[in-house]
Amino acid sequence: MGSYKMMFCFTRKFRVDDVEPPEDVRAAFNTYSERGNYMTAELLRRFLVEVQGEVDTTIADAERIIHQVIQKQHRITKYARHTLNLDDFFCFLFSADLNPPIKNEVHHDMTAPLSHYFIYTGHNSYLTGNQLSSDCSDIPIINALKRGVRVIELDIWPNSSKDDVHVLHGRTLTTPVPLIQCLRSIKDHAFSVSPYPVVITLEDHLTPDLQAKVAKMVTQTFGEMLFYPESECLEGIPSPEALKHRIILSTKPPKEYLESKSSQDKGGNSQKVRDLPGEDSVRKNGSNPTAEPESVDDKNDCDPQDDEDMDDSYSYSRQLGAPEYKHLITIPAGKPKEGLELALKVKPDKVRRLSLSEQALEKATLSLGTELVRFTHENFLRVYPKGTRVTSSNYKPMIGWMHGAQMVAFNMQGYGKSLWSMHGMFRSNGGCGYVKKPDFLMRAGPGIDIFNPKAALPVKKTLKVRVYQGDGWRLDFSQTHFDSYSPPDFYTKVGIAGVPADTKMEKTKPIKDNWNPTWEEEFTFSLTVPELALLRIEVHEHDVHEKDDFAGQTCLPVSELRPGIRAVPLSDRKGEQFKSVMLLMKFKFV
C-alpha cells in the first residue's frame, strides 16, 4: 500500500495558477470605474477616500499612484494612458509598497516626557546566541539598532588583567568583547533608522578606577551626543523630540554598592554578599510583598552576571573615586531594598528606573497593579527575562505594557511568537522605537482613577478581518520546500495578542494543492483595549503526518491598521520580510 501511494504521488504535477482578483476587488472596480472598463484618477481618489478611509487623498496623489502602477505593471517609464484597468487596480491593491496595512511615518506626539512612551528595549544586547556559551559581539548591537531598538544593555566587567573593561555575560562561557568596540558601534549606528534617543543600560561590575575609565571612554566616544543632567538629580526628563540624536546612560549610581556592602557581616566577616540579582532585582526579604522562599529555583531566576559578589575593596572612600561616572547617569536605576510597595511610591522631581524580572512583575501585579501603573507615569519600569531562558527565549510582553512598563526588555537574537509581538508593537509610529503610551495609562490627579488592568471593561471597538488570498511562495521557496510531491495546502491563522479578555486566535480552512490559495473567510474580534491589541497573522502548510510547516508571519498594531483592502507582507521566523510572500486582506472597524 505504501509503495502504491508513493507511485501515485510521483504522478502528481505542480500547478501554478495566475492569481485572480477576489469578488470584492471586482465589485470595487465596477463601482469606481467608467462602465467597468477603466478607473480615472478622480475615481481612484473616490475609492481611496470612501473605501480605504484615506480622506486626505488628492487628485495628485491618485495620479502618482496610477503612474507608479503603470510603471510596475508594464515596466515603462513613460506611459500613454492615465487610467487603471482591472488588472492594474488589482496590482495596486496587492502591492505592499503602494498599499500597505499601516503607515510608515512618525505620527505620535513626540514632545511628552520620555517616560510617556513604550521604548524598544533589548536584553543582553551583545549576545550572538544563547545566554551561556555564545559569543559576545557588537554585531547583534548593530543589528538591533538597525531594527529600531532604542535601549541597549551592556554588562561591563574588568578584563583578566583588571586594567580595562569588557562586555560579557558574567560567570558564563560567553567570550568577551571590548567595551570601547561596543560604544563605537553604538555611535556609528545609533541613528541609522531613527533619530530618537538611544538609552544604554549598564549592568556594572567594576571597581571605581574602572568606572572612571568608563566615564572617560563614554565622554570621548560620544562627545556632544551624550546627554546627562547638569545637577546631581534629573528633575523631570525631556522628550524624545528634545533628545533627538542623543545618547543617555542608565545604571545604578556608585552609591548603590555601599548599601550592598553595609549588609555584610557586621563582625568583620569577609564573606561575599549576594544581591539578587544585581540592578534587576527584587530583594527577597520579609518586607517584600512579592517575595517567596529562596530555593534552587529562585537562584535560577536571575541572570548569572546579576549575582554581584562585592569585593572587600569597595569602601566609602573609594566610591568617591569616580564622581565623573556618577555624573553621567541620566536615569538612575535601583532595586526595592525595603520591599516593592515602598519602592513604587512616587518621589516628586526625581526620575528613576526600577527593574523587575518577568516573574517578579507577575507576582507584583497580583496586589500592586495600580501602584505599578502609577509609578510609570513619571518613572521607568524595566522588565527582563528570567535567567532560566538560557536559549534566549522571551516572555509575553503584554503584561508589562498593560502595567505601563516602558522598557520590556527582550532577547532580540532569537525568534518566536513573543518576539513577533514585540516586532508588531514597534512597527507603530513609523518604526522609530518610541510608541506613545495610551492616555488611560497616563491618567493622574484628584478624582481620577488609575487604570486597573484587572478590571472588566466593555467592548470598545470591533475589528472585522477578511482573508482573501495569498501569493509569492512560489517565488521565495523551492517547489519541494513544503511537499516533495504536490503543491502546498496553506491555511492562515488570524488573532489578537492583547489583554486577556481580547486574546483570541482563529484559522481558515486549508486550501489543497495550490501555491496561490484563496480563502475568502472573515473573522470578528471584539476588543476591550484596542490601544494595546496586536493583530497576529500566520500562514502554515497543513501536513497530515508531520508538524505543519511554517510559511510566514507578521504582527500589526491594531491602533494603526488602515481600513480597507490591503496588501500584508509576511516575514520569516526571525522577522525578516520575505521578498514576495504576502496576503490580500480587508480590515474594517465597526
Domain 114-439, second-level architecture: Alpha-Beta Barrel (3.20)
Q: Which of 123, 166, 423, 540 is catalytic?
A: 123
Looking at every residue in the chain, the average pLDDT score rounds to: 86
Dist CA 329 CA 332 (whole Å): 6
User: Could you give the angle at which helices 59-74 and 41-50 cross, rounded to 10 degrees?
Assistant: 110
Q: Is the pLDDT confidence value at 296 over 80?
A: no
The residue with cell 520590556 is 408
Dist CA 489 CA 49 (whole Å): 36
Give me the CATH code for the 458-589 domain, please. Answer: 2.60.40.150
Condensed to tens digits (0 to 9), the pLDDT of residues 443-473 reads 876 778 899 888 899 999 999 999 999 999 9
Among the residues of 344-462, which ranges form H helices?
Answer: 358-375, 398-401, 417-425
Dist CA 456 CA 461 (whole Å): 15
Q: Is 377 one of the annotated active-site residues of the chain?
A: no
Residue 79: predicted pLDDT:
56
Q: How many residues does the chain have?
A: 590
- Residues facing residue 157 across a β-bridge: 166
**What is the band of 275 on the pLDDT scale with cuts at 50, 70, 90?**
very low
Dist CA 580 CA 492 (whole Å): 17
Condensed to tens digits (0 to 9), the pLDDT of residues 425-443 reads 999 999 999 999 999 999 8
Condensed to tens digits (0 to 9), the pLDDT of residues 343-380 reads 999 887 789 999 999 999 999 999 999 999 999 999 99
Residue 346: predicted pLDDT:
86
What's the start-to-end Cα distance of the chain, in Å? 53
Condensed to tens digits (0 to 9), the pLDDT of residues 523-535 reads 999 999 999 999 9
Dist CA 334 CA 332 (whole Å): 7
Q: Is 189 one of the annotated active-site residues of the chain?
A: no
Q: Which of 212, 211, 217, 228 is nearest to 156 (CA)?
A: 211
CB of 357 closer than 8 Å to CB of 299: no
Q: Which of 108, 169, 403, 423 is catalytic?
A: 169
Question: Does domain 23-93 bear CATH number 3.40.50.720?
Answer: no
Amino acid letter at 481?
H
Dist CA 537 CA 584 (whole Å): 12
What integer is the mean pLDDT of 388-406? Answer: 97
Q: Which of 156, 154, 131 is nearest to 144 (CA)?
A: 154
**What is the band of 323 on the pLDDT scale with cuts at 50, 70, 90?**
confident
* pTM for this prediction: 0.87
Q: Where exactly are the structural domains of the chain?
A: 23-93, 114-439, 458-589
Residue 251: predicted pLDDT:
96
Dist CA 197 CA 336 (whole Å): 27
